[in-house]
Amino acid sequence: MVDGLAPEVLLAGFDAGQTHTRCRLALADGRVIGEGEGSGVSHLGSSGGPERFTAALASSLAAARRSAGCTAGLSAAAIGASGIEQGSPSQRQGTDLARKSLGIETVLVTGDERTALAGAFGAREPGIVLISGTGAIAVGRDASGRQHRCAGWGWLVDGVGSAMDIGRDGLALTLRMADGRLEETALKTVLWEALGVHEAHELKARVVDPSFGAAGFARLAPLVSAQAEAGDPHAGQVLEIAGEELALMVEGVASALALDAPALCCFGGAISHLAPLQQAMEVVLQERLPGIRRVQAQGDACGGALQLAQALSS
C-alpha cells in the first residue's frame, strides 16, 4: 500500500550487476516509492546464469517492496543487466525469465549500458555514456534516437579500458620481470604480495582458478594505478594504454552517430577513482574530439530503467 491506497500502475526498474542488483519502484507519474538491493547476476550462458538472474530479480524486488510497504502487482518493468546484448538470444532468454519471475508480460530486458544511457540523458537528449568498472563499454544516442555501442564484448576477448584489463596487464608484466624479460620494479612486489604468491607457478595456478576470473584481475587495478602515480614506468604505460582505449571507444561512438561535440557522462569505479586512467583518457579525447563536453548525469541506471518501464506502460 502507498499512502493507504493500492496504486493503479506500479513500475519497476532494475540495475542488475555482477555483485548486486538494485530495484526501484515508482508510480505512473514517476514518483519513486521504494528501492531495494538483492543478489547479482552472471552471463545467462554461464553455469547457473539463469538461476542467478531470476534470484536477483526476486530478491531485489522483495527488498524494494519492503522499502515501499507495497504489495501491489507490477504493471511494467525494465531490467538493465550485465552481459545482455541487443537483439541477441540472451536478450530473448532474459525476457522470458523476467516475465516468469515477475509474473507480467510487459517487460524489457536490455544491457545495463542502455539503461545507464537513458538515466544519464533522459528520454531524448543525445549523448554518450562511458562505463569503466570491472568491464568497459561506451554507448551513445543521436538526436533521432539512433544508438551505437563500442567495446565490452566480454572480458576474455575485449576488456580494453577496464579495471580487469589494467589488473591483468599489470600482472602480466610481473611475470616478465620474474623470468628476466623485464627489469623488476616495485610493481611485482606489490601485486604478488596482494595475491599471496612467491613463485611464478603459484601465480599461474591462482589466476586459472575458476573463482579468480575478471573480478580477481579487476581488484588489482587500484594497485597498478597507485604504482603509476608513484612513477613506475611500466605501470604508467598500462594506464596510458587503457586511457587511450577508453578515448577510442568514445570516438568510435561519436563517429558512428556523427556527433561533432558530444556530451559525455562517465560511470564506473575505474574511471571514477583511478586518476592516471582519467588523465590518459582526457589527453587523447582532447586531441581527437576537442569539442567534447563532460556533463553530469541527469540520473542513474535504475532511473533509466524506470523511464523505459514508463514508456512500456504508456
How open is the CA angle 294-311-59, to the nearest 5 degrees? 85
Q: Which residue has the cell 611500466?
A: 234
Q: Which CATH superfamily is domain 10-122+298-313 in?
A: ATPase, nucleotide binding domain (3.30.420.40)
How open is the CA angle 174-273-154, to the nearest 5 degrees? 65
**DSSP letters for 158-216:** --TTSHHHHHHHHHHHHHHHHTTSS---HHHHHHHHHHT--SHHHHHHHHHSTTTHHHH
In tens digits, what is the pLDDT along the chain, a chain of 314 residues? Answer: 454 445 678 999 999 987 789 999 999 888 999 999 999 888 898 888 999 999 999 999 999 999 999 888 999 999 999 889 888 999 999 999 999 999 999 999 999 999 999 999 987 899 999 999 989 999 999 999 999 999 998 888 999 999 999 999 999 999 999 999 999 999 999 999 999 999 999 999 999 998 898 889 999 999 999 999 999 999 999 999 999 999 999 999 999 999 999 999 999 999 999 999 999 999 999 999 999 999 999 999 999 999 999 999 87
Give me the amino acid identity at 110. T
For the beta carbon of residue 267, count every other beta carbon within 10 angstroms.
21
For residue 314, the model assigns a pLDDT of 78
User: Distance of alpha carbon 306 from its chain centroid, rounded?
Assistant: 17
**Which architecture characterizes domain 163-294 according to CATH?**
2-Layer Sandwich (3.30)
For residue 163, what are the CA distances in angstroms to 3, 13, 85? 44, 27, 21
For residue 8, the model assigns a pLDDT of 72
User: Distance of alpha carbon 120 from its chain centroid, rounded?
Assistant: 14
Residue limits of CATH 3.30.420.40 in the chain? 10-122+298-313, 163-294
CB of 129 closer than 8 Å to CB of 99: no
Best CA proximity match to 23, nearest among 15, 206, 31: 15
Secondary structure of residue 236 in the 3-state scheme = helix
For residue 1, the model assigns a pLDDT of 46
Best CA proximity match to 73, nearest among 137, 167, 7, 165: 7
For residue 6, the model assigns a pLDDT of 52
Q: How is residue 23 written as a grid cell?
A: 530495484
Best CA proximity match to 97, nearest among 62, 165, 51: 51
For the beta carbon of residue 260, count every other beta carbon within 10 angstroms.
10
Secondary structure of residue 109 in the 3-state scheme = strand
DSSP-derived letter for residue 303 is H
Best CA proximity match to 277, nearest among 314, 303, 242: 242
Q: How far apart are CA 15 and CA 178, in angstroms?
A: 41
- Phi and psi at residue 257, in whole multiples of 5°? -100, 5
Q: How far apart are CA 141 and CA 62, in angstroms?
A: 33
For residue 7, the model assigns a pLDDT of 60
Q: How far apart are CA 216 and CA 206, in angstroms?
A: 10
Q: How far apart are CA 167 and CA 246, in angstroms?
A: 16
For the beta carbon of residue 154, count every other beta carbon within 10 angstroms.
12
Q: Which residue has the cell 516509492?
A: 33
Indicate the Cα dihedral angle 50, 51, 54, 59, nearest 10°.
-150
For residue 176, the model assigns a pLDDT of 97
Give me the amino acid identity at 45. G
Q: How is residue 62 written as a grid cell?
A: 522483495
Pairing state of beta strands 21-27 and 32-38? antiparallel
